[in-house]
Amino acid sequence: MFVSAWQADENDINQWTEDQIKHDPNKQFIVAAENNDLATILSLIESAKQKGCEGEMEFKQLLLAKDQDGYTALHRAAYGGHIEVLQCLIKCGADVNNRTEDGWTPLHSAAFWNKLACVQLLISAGADLNALTNSRQTPLHLAVSNNQGPETLYLLMAQPGAPVYGVRNKLGDEVADIIKRNTPYGDICYAFSEPAVIC
């Protein structure tokens, strides 16, 4: 049985049996992305493309396939830090702003787990820095909330329009509030004199 490592607890475990995975290319694709199995990703893509028009639909389904929480292969590669798989999926046309049931984009996932190279790649591929989850968290909110290290935090804050001020999550916190309260990097907030403008 496959159990996702992503927030697995007894009430929210994404379980697929080996048999379910074996007989479903979409599940194989998602699991391969989480396991950094680029060879399987490429094999499934090639297999789909060889089927002509029908294969084009199958190929698109691979990129759009989601687990029961709405995570795509791109999300799983992003939170796992699997940069080569992430590059392949983006090159194949995976949507960098696809959302989970909770509104997380792949950038939210990479930012939360402090996967710096994945955050850089997703931003360069057009990921929305100001995307809000269902609880009104930006990727920057999540980067500072998990507090695993400053690298991702600094990268996100260096982006034009970084929402340090002006965007409050459901708890009423701006990114600056969380930085000042939870990290030793509070002084960096003073470099941002005006709230970011979110359109």
Residue-wise pLDDT tens for the chain (199 aa)? 444 444 444 444 457 888 888 889 999 999 999 999 999 999 999 998 888 777 788 899 999 999 999 999 999 999 999 999 999 999 999 999 999 999 999 999 999 999 999 999 999 999 999 999 999 999 999 999 887 778 898 899 999 988 888 899 999 999 999 998 888 887 777 776 555 445 4
Predicted pLDDT of residue 195 = 52
Token pair 């959302």 is at which residue? 99
Q: Are 142 and 116 in contact (CB under 8 A)?
A: no
Domains of the chain listed by start with CATH number: 1-104 (1.25.40.20), 129-199 (no CATH)
CB 64 within 8 A of CB 93: no
Q: What is the enclosing helix (H) or strand (E) of 15? A: strand 15-16
Q: What is the pTM of this model?
A: 0.86
- What pLDDT does 9 receive? 40
Residues facing 15 on adjacent strands: 3
Contacts with 38 (C-beta within 8 Å, 6 or more apart), sequence order? 32, 84, 85, 88
Sign of the Cα pseudo-torsion (185, 114, 118, 100, in order): negative
Task: Determine the pLDDT at residue 193.
Answer: 55
Question: CA dist 157 to 48, 120, 122, 169, Å?
Answer: 40, 12, 15, 17
What is the number of alpha carbons within 13 Å of residue 8 lying toward its C-beta? 8
**Residue 147 — left, alpha, or beta (φ > 0 → left; ψ -120 to 50 → alpha)?**
left
Cβ atoms of 115 and 94 within 8 Å: the answer is: no
Alpha-carbon gap, residue 92 to 65, rounded angstroms: 14
